[in-house]
Amino acid sequence: MRRLFPIFVLGLGILFINGCGTTSVYNLPQSQQEGLVRQSYMFPTKPVFETCLDLLTEDGWIIDNIDRQSGLITTEWKQNTSIFEKVIAGDSRSRQSVRVTGNGDHSTVKVILYLQHKDSDGWSQYAISKNEAKQEISPFLESIGERLVQANNE
């Protein structure tokens, strides 16, 4: 019985570490999502929406749906050519949903990145971690701000 206890504790430790590593960035409090999957801008929603649309297409995303009234842009599924291929072996794909909301001269962009991996049972959804959001979504949010400032200065 005493021999099994260290194995049990080791097993619990592995489960704890694995559980912590897969926490979705979308489960964080809204204040901790700022700069990772959501960002606010001091610009009206129309130029922010158009900038998001331009940046997505420039980055190779094929747009599946555009709803300017609700501020929603959805991309088609895309085979992964980013860090996710290195993290998940095999067939994986992603798509983005970008929502632009705002009032007056203040807008907020929230990006939802869906990641799926194909195995023998079909496609499985994976949680996006904080580090993955920093590498995959944060640069997009930064580009929006840079592009808006550049357009405003012209």
pLDDT value of position 7: 43
Of 10 and 108, more confident: 108
How far is residue 25's CA from residue 135's CA, in Å, rounded to a whole number? 12
| Mean pLDDT score, 43-52 | 97
> Across 10-19, 65-74, 80-89, which has the greatest mean pLDDT?
65-74
The pairing of beta strand 72-75 with beta strand 38-41: unpaired
**Domains of the chain listed by start with CATH number:** 25-153 (3.30.530.50)
Identify the pLDDT of residue 3: 53
pLDDT digits (tens, 9 = 90+) for 106-123: 999 999 999 888 888 888
Q: Using one digit for the tens of pLDDT, what is the confidence trace for 27-40?
A: 999 889 999 999 99
What are the tokens at 114? 């869906």
Q: Is the whole model's pTM more than 0.85, yes or no?
A: no
Place of tokens 């993290």: 87
